[in-house]
Amino acid sequence: MCTNCIKCKSKDCVKKMGKNTSGSQRYICKNCGKSFVLKPKKIAYSEKFKKKAMRLYFEGNSSRAVARILKIGIITCLRWIKAYANKIKPKKYKNGRVEVMEMDELYTFMSKKKTKFS
């Protein structure tokens, strides 16, 4: 395929260089060595899929369980949870105090090892 390089604009033919993770053809310029994709595909999860993840999380599954069930990365799942939490406005109470608080996924430290092995 003959096309112009997106970096150096040379008229030389570019060489095919395999495909990227989304399946788009990658090219490399013979002149400058720049690798690029002519028509990149946007990889994104649908809002419906994200809502499904949030529903699983709010039903009591841990973030790791949600990631495992939906076969997505744990970091992706945590980003979605954080983004959703940032959208929620804090509830205002009449007297300014919270009477009932519920916590989930509590981390507890038991003790430190006395001996070190090397």
Binned at pLDDT 50, 70 and 90, residue 80 comes out as very high
Q: Nearest Cα to 104, choosing from 68, 73, 63?
A: 63
Range of the domain at 65: 47-87
Q: Are residues 23 and 52 in the same domain?
A: no
Give yes or no for a contact between 28 and 10, defined as CB atoms under 8 angstroms apart.
Answer: no
DSSP 8-state symbol, 90? P
In a domain, residue 115? The reply is no
97 in a domain, yes or no? Answer: no
pLDDT in tens, 99-115: 676 666 656 666 676 77
Amino acid (one-letter) located at 72: I
The answer on 83 and 62 residing in a single domain is yes
DSSP string, 6-72: TTT---SPEEEEEE-TTSPEEEEETTT--EEESSPPPP---HHHHHHHHHHHHTT--HHHHHHHHT-
Q: Are residues 52 and 34 in the same domain?
A: no
Q: Tell me: do 18 and 37 sit in the same domain.
A: yes
Specify whether 57 is located in the same domain as 32.
no
Question: What type of residue sits at position 6?
Answer: I
Residue 68 located in a structural domain: yes
Query: Regarding predicted confidence, which is higher, 62 or 88?
Result: 62
Instruction: Give domain status of residue 16, yes or no.
Output: yes
Q: What is the CATH number of the domain that holds 27?
A: 2.20.25
Give the Cα separation of 35 and 16 in Å (integer): 9
Inter-residue contact 15 to 30 (CB < 8 Å): yes
Mean pLDDT taken over the chain: 80
Q: Which of 91, 58, 90 is nearest to 77 (CA)?
A: 58
Do 62 and 34 lie in a common domain? no
Q: How many domains does the chain have?
A: 2
pTM of the model: 0.48
